[in-house]
């Protein structure tokens, strides 16, 4: 049974600006009677610019810097309607990856804001999603909880979180209710918000004005330019060869020896080196000793992978399961266990090296 916690709490305009996915925000936007065809109006132009800015923030910062999607200098009457217009713009892109990135960034934004809210506000937001939640301040040993949540609501959201601590067998549950801290409740709400926004983004969008279409095209191009980078942020500025995973190390050593390399082997190595920070020219030179080296073809392929020609989309290496399928995964070590991508291995290995030595000095080619 849903507790009265948050049942009668009224959300202010500032709350609607922070959580624009709630139904009351939609009612507020409807009351404004915005007409997209009149975006030459100075007020509506401000709304459109803010919508564009929050999409740019989702592309550039994603889930890493949620505060970049919050504009405290903007007024609520601009911030609130900027969300549905941003949804309309992203939805019109018809790019599923673009949609997922925007939905995740907005969900992370909400989760970040919820961390500073009290229990009544969190419960009020949760009630919108029909959660069976109630306040339950209780300590079990060193663990302190703020809420209980019905296990069905818990499972619906925890299933998307890839961390063993969220498995139901690892949670405290009494009489069908799972105990949660405020932060944990916010994390589960993040999943609810993400799915709701993704649903909205998949609604068919009608014909848009040329002004908006041009902005959407520009944002789509920005997304394509950053797509490879967005998947693996915070890579070192220079290549650290000692941190290469076994499969990449094997390919890296094979190229200078003049041995023939398969197409997927070449792609995996080139894309890995480029994402690890190695310059295009250095990657091309590394392939020069291969038996069938062609300056023109190699340059074209490397520059295409780097995103400086062709689709302008920077590519990342194939996942580990793909590399295994093609016989590229050789000599897996202990760190490979649980790793699904060679760049994930690379980042973890660098962290380990820093812990052991205090620094991970890059070894240049």
CA distance 286 to 275: 15
CA distance 65 to 109: 9
Specify if 252 maps to a domain: yes
From its phi and psi, is residue 184 left (phi > 0), alpha (psi between -120 and 50) or beta?
alpha
- Predicted confidence band of residue 3 (pLDDT cuts 50, 70, 90): very low
* Nearest to 363, CA basis, from 233, 234, 244, 272: 244
Dist CA 170 CA 182 (whole Å) = 18
Band of pLDDT at residue 147, cut at 50, 70 and 90: very high
**The domain containing residue 350 runs over which residues?**
241-357
Is 5 a member of any domain? no
How does DSSP assign 234-270, residue by residue?
S--SS--GGG--HHHHHHHHHGGGT----HHHHHHHH
pLDDT of residue 62: 66
DSSP state of 293: -
- pLDDT bin (cut points 50, 70, 90) of residue 359 is low
Confidence of residue 72 (pLDDT cuts 50, 70, 90): low
Cα separation values, 123 from 132, 137, 188, 216, Å:
10, 14, 12, 36
Does the pLDDT value for residue 360 go beyond 80? no
Do 226 and 207 share a domain, yes or no?
Answer: yes
Higher per-residue pLDDT: 115 or 1: 115
Total domains present in the chain = 3
pLDDT at position 224: 77
In a domain, 124, yes or no: yes
pTM for this entry: 0.64
**Residue 139 CB: number of other CB atoms within 10 A?**
8
The CA distance from 260 to 322, in Å, is 20
- Mean pLDDT for the stretch of residues 17-40: 84
Q: Is residue 3 part of a domain?
A: no
Distance CA 321, CA 302 (A): 23
pLDDT in tens, 189-219: 999 999 999 999 998 888 888 888 888 988 8
Q: How far apart are CA 128 and CA 16, in angstroms?
A: 13
Position with higher pLDDT, 109 vs 224: 109
Least confident residue range of 7-16, 143-152, 286-295? 7-16
Per the domain annotation, does 365 fall within a domain? no
Across the strands, what pairs with 179?
Answer: 148
- Spatial CB neighbours of 292, under 8 Å, sequence gap ≥ 6: 260
CA-based R_g, the chain, Å? 24
> Is a pLDDT exceeding 80 seen at residue 96?
yes
**Pair 210, 73 in one domain:** yes
Same domain, yes or no: 227 and 348: no
pLDDT given at position 5: 46
The verdict on 270 and 215 lying in the same domain is no
- Asked if 225 and 304 sit in the same domain, the reply is no
Half-sphere CA count of 118, side-chain side, radius 13 A = 4
CA distances from 14 to 6, 24, 71, 80, 200 (A): 17, 12, 12, 9, 22
Q: State whether 110 and 151 are in the same domain.
A: no
Q: Is 173 helix (H, G, I), strand (E, B) or coil?
A: strand
Q: What band does 221 get if pLDDT is binned at 50, 70 and 90?
A: confident
Q: What is the mean pLDDT of residues 313-341?
A: 85
Three-state secondary-structure class, residue 231: helix
Q: Are 333 and 352 in contact (CB under 8 A)?
A: no
| Same domain, residue pair 226 and 245 | no
Percent of the chain with pLDDT over 90: 46
Q: Is residue 8 part of a domain?
A: no
- Please tell me whether residues 296 and 353 are part of one structural domain: yes
Q: Are residues 94 and 213 in the same domain?
A: yes
Q: Which residue has the higher pLDDT, 153 or 8?
A: 153
Residues 98 and 139 in one domain: no
What average pLDDT does the structure give for the chain?
85
């Amino acid at each position: 049974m849903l507790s009265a916690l948050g049942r009668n709490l009224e959300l202010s305009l500032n709350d609607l600006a922070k959580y624009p996915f709630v139904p009351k925000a939609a009612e507020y936007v409807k009351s404004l009677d915005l007409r997209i065809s009149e975006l030459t109006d100075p007020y509506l132009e401000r709304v459109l610019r803010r919508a564009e800015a929050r999409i740019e923030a989702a592309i550039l910062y994603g889930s890493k810097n949620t505060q970049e999607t919050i504009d405290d200098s903007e007024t609520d009457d601009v911030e609130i309607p900027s969300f549905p217009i941003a949804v309309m713009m992203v939805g019109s892109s018809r790019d599923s990856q673009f949609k997922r990135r925007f939905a995740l960034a907005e969900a992370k934004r909400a989760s970040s804001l919820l961390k500073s809210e009290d229990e009544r506000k969190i419960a009020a937001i949760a009630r919108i999603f029909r959660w069976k939640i109630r306040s339950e301040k209780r300590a079990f040993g060193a663990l302190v909880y703020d809420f209980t949540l019905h296990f069905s609501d818990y499972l619906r959201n925890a299933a998307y979180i890839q961390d063993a601590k969220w498995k139901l067998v690892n949670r405290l549950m009494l009489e069908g209710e799972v105990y949660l801290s405020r932060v944990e409740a916010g994390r589960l709400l993040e999943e609810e918000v993400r799915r709701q926004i993704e649903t909205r983004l998949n609604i068919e969008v009608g014909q848009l004005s040329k002004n908006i279409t041009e902005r959407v095209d520009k944002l789509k191009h920005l997304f394509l330019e950053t797509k490879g980078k967005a998947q693996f942020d915070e890579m070192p500025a220079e290549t650290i060869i000692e941190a290469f995973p076994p499969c990449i190390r094997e390919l890296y050593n094979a190229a200078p020896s003049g041995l023939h390399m398969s197409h997927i082997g070449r792609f995996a190595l080139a894309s890995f080196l480029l994402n690890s920070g190695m310059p295009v020219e250095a990657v091309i030179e590394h392939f020069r000793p291969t038996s069938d080296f062609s300056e023109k073809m190699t340059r074209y392929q490397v520059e295409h992978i780097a995103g400086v020609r062709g689709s302008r989309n920077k590519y990342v290496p194939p996942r580990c399961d793909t590399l295994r399928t093609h016989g590229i995964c050789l000599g897996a070590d202990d760190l490979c266990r649980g790793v699904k991508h060679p760049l994930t291995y690379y980042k973890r290995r660098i962290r380990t090296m820093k812990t052991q030595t205090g620094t991970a000095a890059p070894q240049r080619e």
